[in-house]
Amino acid sequence: MSALRGKNTSQTVTRVSTVIWVLALPMILGFFALSNIDNAVEFRTLQTFFFLYLGSGMGILFAQANLGGTGERARDLNIFWTNDIDLKGLIWIGGGIFAIFVSVFLILIIASGGDADALRNAQFGGILVAGIIMMVAFLQTNALLVPIIIHGVYNSTVVYLNRTGFEIVGGTQQFAVAPDQPVLLGVNEIGIGFQGVSDLFSEFIWQFTLVATAEEFLKLAILVFVVILINGFFQSKGISVLIGAGVAIIFWTSLHLVNAI
């Protein structure tokens, strides 16, 4: 019994950073952004990611609060995604970042020199592989912050490369489908600066706190919805979780082909 109580105690006291990062930071920074919007594009971008963030978050909380016919078995969701980052999480963050960069780079190298369709497929494939790696890292840690940080690092790197061209191995532009298109798909910039912070570093902040958080929340919400749809309730283990993860990855990847902003 004491061991069980210790386990439950550790589960309840290690969620502070998740709550602050996932639930507080986007809201605080969102209100800041609303007061500093300069044009319609910035408003639409902010609106899009807040729609993803709030809609996905409400869906998850809806299930977690035992609503929508999930019953008491929804309590399994309480410990499915809210763990804070421990040593295992740090290892998965480091390994996930390394695996994504190596995988995407190899895919682009293989496709470089091909026609527009080959490069576009390579970009799409890179996003799909990155999504798989981030999902595996999440399922191994039950900490949503793990894929959020991996996602933020990847997005920030893409923002940097697309802005600077980073002249290495002939420059990143060799991987672009067309000279006037970004080298890598799927990273939308918020574009709202922080006073005293450069535009580039301001964008890094947004990529970590809003863009990555909203997209990982979306994948989590889709996974939860599919699991509940299959079982009638949520469970954190089993084939239904793998099916839900697959659907979430495919749906998230397909969104990167839509230029809605």
Question: How confident is the model over 81-111, as pLDDT tens digits?
Answer: 989 999 999 999 999 999 999 999 899 888 8
Whole-structure pTM value? 0.87
Q: Which pairs from 97-101 meet CB under 8 Å and 24+ separation? A: 97/150, 97/153, 97/154, 99/133, 100/129, 100/130, 100/133, 100/134, 100/150, 100/154, 101/154, 101/157
pLDDT at 185: 59
Residue 225 has pLDDT above 70, yes or no: yes
Give the highest mean pLDDT range of 45-49, 63-67, 96-100: 96-100
Confidence of residue 172 (pLDDT cuts 50, 70, 90): low
DSSP output for 163-186: HH---STT-GGGG-SSTTS-SSSS
Amino acid 10: pLDDT: 41
* CA distance linking residue 15 with residue 89, whole number of Å: 13
What integer pLDDT is reported at residue 44 of this predicted model? 86
Structure tokens at 248: 């979430």
